Structure 1
Amino acid sequence: MRRLSLLGLLILTLSPLCLRATEARVIQNIDFDWYFYPADIQGCEMDNSRFLSWRKVDVPHDYSIEGTYDQKNGRENGFLPGGGVVWYKKELEWNPLWEGKKVFIEFDGAYMNSTVWLNGYKLGFYPNGYLGFSYDLTPYLVKGTNVLSVRLDNSRLPSARWYSGIGIYRHVNLVTTDPVHIARFGTCIRAEEISTESARICIETEVNSPEACEVPIKLISVIRDSRGREVGRSQRNGQISCYQLTSFDTICVENPRLWSPDTPECYYMESFVEKEGKIVDNYTTRFGIRRLEYIPEKGFRLNDIPTKMKGVCLHQNMGAVGTALAEDIWHKRLIQLKKMGCNAIRTSHYPYAPEFYAMCDTLGFMVIDEPWDGWFHWYGCHKVPYDYSNDFLDWWEKDLPDFIKRDRNCPSVVMWSLGNEVWGYDRHMYLQYKMNKIFHDMDPTRPTTQAYCTDLYIDIAGFNANGECKGDISDFHKKQPLKLAVGTEIPHTRQTRGVYRTIGTRKPWDKDEVLNEHDAARVFPLTSFTTEEVFDGIDTRYASSYDNQTRRISVREQWKQTRDNDFFIGQFVWTGFDYLGESWGWPGRTNNYGIIDLAGFEKDHYYLYQSLWSDEPMVHVLPHWTHPGKEGVEIPVVVYTNGDAAELFYNGKSLGRKDMHRDSLQIVWNVPYRPGTIKAVAYKDGRVIASCSHKTAGKAYSLKLTADRKTMKSNRKDVVFVTVDVTDKKGNFVPYANVDVDFEVKGDYKLIGVENGDVLDIAPHKVLHRKTFNGKALLILQATDNAGRLRIQAKSPGLKSSSVEINVI
């Protein structure tokens, strides 16, 4: 995101045309200083006499995450409170620049059933909790103080199958334009005839006017690369009639830099509207130049290169944060996935915030973009009773085009999804046909898929659990050899950070899944390293971090299916991160499907996927080497590496060197446990490429604080993650340490929350206290508008404290 800000400054510096245009369209962020009330008040939209005593908040804001976990709150929301009605109000002082202009308010997302008023005038109602919406404020603004009122209604529960939160949880902006202006999402940019020498950029621009009579304008289009250099320009005269003009133009870009996950080169088109010799509007659109080819039997090619989608599904919530994710949080999560080798994300099961797509464009992720979970309610659809499906039939034909317009210029979006596990969709094929047609009419450049759907109108078959058994993928290909497929949600494996079991299990939660004889014959075999469990006595709701706790197929078996079948173009693991909600039972806040836990700490599967997906040399050894009471017991030691061989050492003595095989995708030694140091060394073509080691830890002695940044800006937006590790006297990490930690923070800050990744820990988030889980905990702070220094100290009874300082400028 800093890159985008720098680009904006660069464009303004380089272009005189831009300097004149800055007075035309003004985008003002209004996230700060809202007033919040956590209950319903009859007639509140008309009563502005008392709200100044309400609690003051900044948005993005999620009220649910501030609450207390309670079994009565329900499993869908992770046992956090989510129901009820809340109000927000904000004062907008009259701006002289608004005279003779149009003023719009744009909400990027508010959950849910929002009604908005300005000065008591109702602007509208919008049920969708995930897609942004906009209103024209112009007719209701007064010179003086204006009061904006927002009512959100999530009183009927459950309204989602996962944690939804409640609040204005995304950004809010005021947009001021000339009466003649480019429409919201009013540009459509497509790259055609792409080669290394040139690309033809086709531009469609929609311009609005309040007048029915003809209005002559000139439309100027300027394309700049990511460094701010102009690479193409055109202008076209036009006449607005009947309130609207749609203009078409083309620009040739020479020697285009093609977008891909490895080279995420973006271009920016500045569109200017000139009327009577004056620039009256400007609009910037980010896009990319890349060639997508989906070839039956051969697979997916990006810029002529055969490419597998190494993807994850995500939910937008995070443990201590809820749904109100600041840009720094999104950025940290995406960088973490990037380092794992992930190159694709599925937005399960709703539209994400605009900044997410901006980061995917500029960091390099391919996206399957999904507008909703199910469609409307019918018998057997198995969705929750009060989600968007209640309003689907009234709203989908408006929301779907808005969704497509919003995201169609993003180079990261490579496929559209019609929905997720729409049980019984075959009884409503007219609806699938209509959706598919809208997607293709509005965007003929991308294919469609549908999760857990293999036939009929979609272009690419989508596999969830229906692709995890023996023969599922191969049988599909025999029946439909000319249709490509993608693993839209596959595989489903469970793991808990720092927990290991040597005997494989299919426990989806605390009990084994009972399979009938037919299903038992179809699932892939489990990996068991021993006949008797080595790591006994562990709560069965925690899952094994070996690749041996799965529903139907392991990580390694699924990757072989993806790797070895050209028609199977990629997979999207369920899930990249543990997420709140969709619990399998109290007090579980979630299940353990994520590769990364609720605190953002990597599990061992992170390194397994890294060994399969990343080209950066790596090696990882598991489990840790602190197992008191297991002296002399053989422990399976597993190594993941993208090298071709690995060697294991105990206290410097080699225990043997073994090759990595395409079928096993892991190397295993059985090592009698003794305290000491275990080390794995990876080789490629006979050369050492990486090493990884674990030392046996003694008793917990000290806390160790690590901040992910040393400096923050005093902008009320920057976020710092402070990790707590428990160490022994020699500084070795203590992997079993579960100790109480109190934080003391000196300086101005906003507490985002505390977390430890333990799915069974139902302690509150908005406090300066947390217990470590398997040696780790997390504190998240946000800057205020005051500069200075933050001094953060962590204390635990009987342990040496630790501190860290952050400079706020």
Structure 2
Amino acid sequence: MTTERTSLHRRQMLQATAAGGAALALVGGTPALAKAPAAAKGPTRDLPFDDDWRFFLGDTAQAQRPEFDDGGWRKLDLPHDWSIEDRPGAPQSTDPWVPPVALWNPGPHPKGAPVVSPEVPIVMASVPPLAPGGPPHKVGPFDVAESAFGWGTGWTVGGIGWYRKSFTLTDLVPGEQVEVRFDGAYMIAEAWINGVSLGRNVNGYLGFVFDLTPHLRAHLPNVLAVRVSNVGETARWYSGSGLYRHVWLSRTGTVRVPYSGVAITTPTVDAASATVLFGIELENRAGMPQTAEYRINIRDARDRVVASAAKSVLVTAKGGRIDAELDVARPALWSPGTPNLHRADITLTSDGRVTDRISQRFGIRTIGVSPRAGFQVNGKTYQLQGACVHHDHGMLGAVAIDRAERRKVGLLKANGFNAIRCAHNPPSPYFLDVCDELGMIVMDEAFDVWEKPKLMKDYYNNYFIDHWREDLANTIRRDRNHPSIAFWSIGNEIFEAVSPRGVELATQMRAVVREQDMSRFITQALTASYLGEKGKAARAQLDVTSYNYSFNAVEKDHATYPDLTFLTTETHSADAYDIWDHMQRNPAYMGEFLWTGVDYIGEVGVGSSRLRSNTAPPDNEKKIIFGMDVSLLNFYVWDYPAYLAGAGEIDVIGLKRPPSLYRDVVWGRNPLSLVVQRPVPAGFHEDQTAWGWPDLLESWTWPEGNSDPMSVHIYTSGDEVALLLNGREVGRKALAPIDKRKVQLEVPYQPGTLTAVSYTSGKEIARRTLETVGAPARLRLRAEREAVPGIATELVYVHAEVLDAKGRLVPDAAVPLTFLVDGRARLRAAGSANPYGIESFQDNRTRTFHGTALAILQPTGQRGEATVRVSSPGLADGVQLITLTR
């Protein structure tokens, strides 16, 4: 068994097949399933249904009909997001556009020539989006003219797409039930089987299930057709388009458990024993009462049965229910530090035949909140160091490939976060599987809007009144067995939250949540305008009071309402120290969720900084964003060709940004960090948003001849810091609490070494050194993993780095790269963290940003090796060998 866990659903499928599960014969089908037994021997849940689809971008008549000729359509496997793919007619291969204004040393650089100075700095003077010499209207997936919501969705384009899949079931037996489940489609999905309408789904983030049974043709090809519409202003961040999550097929008997029909809770837990309660809904599609026998086996992480129960139950034509209580002795408890998981194997038998099998993972644990102890798991208090995340994966778009989901959670965990807020929608099921496995605490959020809109005229608010009850219930039902989930959020910055109608809706939502789950805490992300008495009625419907950004109001509200517990569901990086300080003093303040953990596409520039002319008139324009006056927040958006938010403490290719270095110091994960401000040219000043951070770099490689001193920023947990330039002390400062663990010293630039030394009570605790490096000389490839399973749910992330002759990273190199991949993998995407890096992510060319770029490979499904090579004119190539296992 490998140390990396494969998809839970894929494991379940393999286990079912090994146990004699029903085979699925596909036209051009999945190779792994072709070896399954030819005769059905029992039910099989969650057979992967991602392979061998055909896709057409655009609308077309009669595509739902089985006889429709889709021979000219593109073949692809799911998950798929057409909004990240090159636009029709856009340059397929292009170097990221380089703005004509650079912060320093802006002299011309011939295309292809390696440079040390940054052609594409983070902060730069405003560039007219379509000025002469500026970017084309259409580059890769970006299209200014066709993007419905422009900066909000990062200049990407939605539209309409059709998917069709042909498959044959060779072994249908009488009474067999067949369902297809989509984990998500953005935005409105309509489905047909053999020309018969199955229905539609309007929530772009929730899964949906269709019963195929009445319409299937045995031993003949069946055609499943799906039309996905993402037309108009449907999102205010990058949503992606199409069938961007997995699709599954399930085959059961007539007595069965409906999708999400299993609820598992652990109300009584201690070291000696735990009580596990099961509430299992039953369906009966036979049309007459049936007697069924059930067996529940609870297995631990070593696959040992630790508790079991078996009994008969009468299932009427309207259905039935199993309520079972099992005791587990000496349970291995789930917690953030020890995320032990159990599995419940549930088997239904009727008339001597197995009619359904379900494997459901869960964790044995208790959770609690109180104003005196804060947030607790199994009686232990945890301060929540959380991050908000959107669901896209940068240059991959919104495709929910398992490895991309796991990597995102892993990056957050590795950078000290122990909690995630899914902003502002339910995530993929596999994302939550990973949170369970890695021990993250999760806030699962249902809605970004209720009835009132947020700028976008085609948003979910148009469907809310008719769909919210079902969508909220389905969210809870789908996710309620994940031990990582501690909080259900019913909304984010809801405009009507404190109005009588809003309180009425929140009261109804609370009832819907409690119908499905009694074991977690209900909250809602309230805005700063709902503090104090004004928000009292809205807070009354919540178990935990959550505010966006208003961390400094928690103490005041706690003094007025001492029985409340608090979270800040969005915070700024700049407030990391103040938030930490508040949490140490007030246990009722249980934690924060930073906006945001990982950078994302859309909401362009909200977390970035840029240059402004000193002679430009002040910007006194009142700014209304999402219905709020944000003038005092210095909120602005970048023009095209910027496409990233710039707010992530981890950048879009997975590397730490300076605010993450600061957070490490504040939370005690690192005693010292050293960064340098990029020089600001004469006549300009740096301007940044409330979510922004100065343009800092871990670099002591700068142009010589600049008479202005360099601004050196030091983050430290010590009480004193000294700065050495080429061994000579050039600055020293004692720190007081008012400094918030930050020191800024001015130093004339001189090539060599810059060293910061941190002290506590006169004793050195850490030192960090930056050194001047040479010109780019060669490239190095660094794979995050050099051996991976050769399956489509895996990805290989390979960083390309620009090195000097001594093998040191050139920290601001911007050089063109070409990737070549040979062997058992293909290049899935390539790009950098350049916020102005509009380009095709589908081709093999990009340009480094801060000396680094990223290539993402996807295995082709075969065992063997793949070789990655990266080249740039004038530099020695980099080569990386990847081993693909099975």
Q: TM-score, normalised by structure 2?
A: 0.79
Higher mean displacement: 22-31 or 732-741: 22-31
Tell me which of 805, 828, 844 is aligned to 1:729.
Answer: 805
CA distance in structure 2 between the aligned counterparts of 1:10 and 1:742, rounded to whole angstroms: 37
What is the 5 A alignment of 1:84-163?
84-97=159-172, 99-143=174-218, 144-155=220-231, 157-163=232-238
1:564 aligns with 2:585: yes
CA distance in structure 2 between the aligned counterparts of 1:686 and 1:438, rounded to whole angstroms: 59
Tell me which of 675, 693, 701 is aligned to 1:626.
Answer: 701
Change (3 A) 1:204 1:771: same
Match of 1:790 in 2: 866
CA distance in structure 1 between the aligned counterparts of 2:42 and 2:272, rounded to whole angstroms: 37
Change (3 A) 1:396 1:697: same
SS class of match (1:43): coil
Tell me which of 567, 570, 585 is aligned to 1:489.
Answer: 570
Tell me which of 540, 543, 547 is aligned to 1:456.
Answer: 540
CA distance in structure 2 between the aligned counterparts of 1:57 and 1:345, rounded to whole angstroms: 32
CA distance in structure 1 between the aligned counterparts of 2:354 and 2:720, rounded to whole angstroms: 64
Match of 2:103 in 1: none
Change (3 A) 1:432 1:630: farther
CA distance in structure 2 between the aligned counterparts of 1:20 and 1:115, rounded to whole angstroms: 30
Using the TM superposition, give the Cα deviation of residue 652 of structure 1 relative to its aligned residue in structure 2, in angstroms: 5.4
1:27 aligns with 2:108: no
Match of 2:122 in 1: none
Using the TM superposition, give the Cα deviation of residue 724 of structure 1 relative to its aligned residue in structure 2, in angstroms: 1.4
Change (3 A) 1:612 1:269: farther
Change (3 A) 1:662 1:52: farther
| CA deviation map 1:533-582 (0-9, x unaligned) | xxxxxxxxxxxxxx5xxxxxx33223323333211111000011111112
Q: Larger RCO: Structure 1 or Structure 2 (Cα < 8 Å, ≥ 6 residues apart)? A: 2
Letter in 2 for 1:577: V
Change (3 A) 1:302 1:658: farther
- 2:13–2:46 CA contact under 8 A, matched in 1: no
CA distance in structure 1 between the aligned counterparts of 2:249 and 2:427, rounded to whole angstroms: 20
What is the 5 A alignment of 1:752-767?
752-767=828-843
Match of 1:407 in 2: 479
CA distance in structure 2 between the aligned counterparts of 1:248 and 1:54, rounded to whole angstroms: 49
CA distance in structure 2 between the aligned counterparts of 1:684 and 1:405, rounded to whole angstroms: 52
CA distance in structure 2 between the aligned counterparts of 1:260 and 1:629, rounded to whole angstroms: 53
- 2:13–2:45 CA contact under 8 A, matched in 1: no
Change (3 A) 1:280 1:657: farther
Change (3 A) 1:762 1:134: same
1:703 aligns with 2:779: yes
CA distance in structure 2 between the aligned counterparts of 1:654 and 1:196, rounded to whole angstroms: 56
- 1:12–1:18 CA contact under 8 A, matched in 2: no
| CA deviation map 1:377-420 (0-9, x unaligned) | 3xxx4342111211111111111111101111111000110111
Using the TM superposition, give the Cα deviation of residue 638 of structure 1 relative to its aligned residue in structure 2, in angstroms: 3.5
1:71 aligns with 2:124: no
Change (3 A) 1:752 1:394: same
Q: Which runs of 5+ in 1 are unaligned?
A: 494-546, 548-553
Using the TM superposition, give the Cα deviation of residue 633 of structure 1 relative to its aligned residue in structure 2, in angstroms: 5.3
Change (3 A) 1:408 1:563: same
1:771 aligns with 2:852: no
SS class of match (1:489): strand
What is the 5 A alignment of 1:625-664?
625-629=700-704, 634-640=709-715, 650-651=725-726, 664=739
Match of 2:557 in 1: 476
Tell me which of 237, 241, 248 is aligned to 1:166.
Answer: 241
Letter in 2 for 1:558: I
Change (3 A) 1:571 1:127: same
1:318 aligns with 2:393: yes
CA distance in structure 1 between the aligned counterparts of 2:384 and 2:356, rounded to whole angstroms: 39
Letter in 2 for 1:339: A
Change (3 A) 1:10 1:436: closer
CA distance in structure 1 between the aligned counterparts of 2:769 and 2:303, rounded to whole angstroms: 45
| CA deviation map 1:646-688 (0-9, x unaligned) | 6655445677887876654425363443222234566789998
CA distance in structure 2 between the aligned counterparts of 1:124 and 1:12, rounded to whole angstroms: 27
Tell me which of 290, 301, 307 is aligned to 1:226.
Answer: 301
SS class of match (1:607): helix
Higher mean displacement: 646-655 or 281-290: 646-655
CA distance in structure 1 between the aligned counterparts of 2:705 and 2:242, rounded to whole angstroms: 50
Letter in 1 for 2:322: S
- 1:578–1:590 CA contact under 8 A, matched in 2: yes
CA distance in structure 1 between the aligned counterparts of 2:285 and 2:388, rounded to whole angstroms: 43
Change (3 A) 1:752 1:210: same
- 1:319–1:755 CA contact under 8 A, matched in 2: no
Change (3 A) 1:336 1:124: same
Match of 2:436 in 1: 361
CA distance in structure 1 between the aligned counterparts of 2:228 and 2:17, rounded to whole angstroms: 44
Match of 2:407 in 1: 332
1:426 aligns with 2:498: yes
| CA deviation map 1:730-782 (0-9, x unaligned) | 12211221111122222353332122111112112111111111211111111
Tell me which of 81, 85, 99 is aligned to 1:62.
Answer: 81
- 1:752–1:780 CA contact under 8 A, matched in 2: yes
Change (3 A) 1:686 1:412: farther
Higher mean displacement: 39-48 or 674-683: 674-683
- 1:697–1:732 CA contact under 8 A, matched in 2: yes
Using the TM superposition, give the Cα deviation of residue 343 of structure 1 relative to its aligned residue in structure 2, in angstroms: 0.3
Match of 2:272 in 1: 197
Using the TM superposition, give the Cα deviation of residue 366 of structure 1 relative to its aligned residue in structure 2, in angstroms: 0.3
Letter in 2 for 1:288: G
CA distance in structure 1 between the aligned counterparts of 2:590 and 2:426, rounded to whole angstroms: 23
SS class of match (2:505): helix
CA distance in structure 2 between the aligned counterparts of 1:641 and 1:691, rounded to whole angstroms: 10
Tell me which of 420, 426, 429 is aligned to 1:345.
Answer: 420
Letter in 1 for 2:329: E
SS class of match (1:608): helix
Change (3 A) 1:786 1:303: closer
CA distance in structure 1 between the aligned counterparts of 2:45 and 2:848, rounded to whole angstroms: 47
Using the TM superposition, give the Cα deviation of residue 4 of structure 1 relative to its aligned residue in structure 2, in angstroms: 5.1
Higher mean displacement: 41-50 or 327-336: 41-50
- 1:320–1:752 CA contact under 8 A, matched in 2: no
Match of 1:516 in 2: none
1:744 aligns with 2:828: no
- 1:754–1:777 CA contact under 8 A, matched in 2: yes
Change (3 A) 1:189 1:690: farther
CA distance in structure 2 between the aligned counterparts of 1:382 and 1:16, rounded to whole angstroms: 47
| CA deviation map 1:181-209 (0-9, x unaligned) | 12211111111221111111111111111
Aligned length in residues = 741
Change (3 A) 1:351 1:15: closer
CA distance in structure 2 between the aligned counterparts of 1:401 and 1:661, rounded to whole angstroms: 51
Match of 1:501 in 2: none
Change (3 A) 1:618 1:7: farther
Change (3 A) 1:630 1:432: farther
Q: Identity percentage over the alignment?
A: 32
CA distance in structure 2 between the aligned counterparts of 1:683 and 1:226, rounded to whole angstroms: 45
Change (3 A) 1:394 1:673: same
- 2:331–2:364 CA contact under 8 A, matched in 1: yes
CA distance in structure 2 between the aligned counterparts of 1:197 and 1:15, rounded to whole angstroms: 33
Q: Tell me how large the CA RMSD over aligned residues is.
A: 2.9
1:590 aligns with 2:657: no
| CA deviation map 1:31-58 (0-9, x unaligned) | 1111000010111111534212211111
Change (3 A) 1:614 1:59: farther
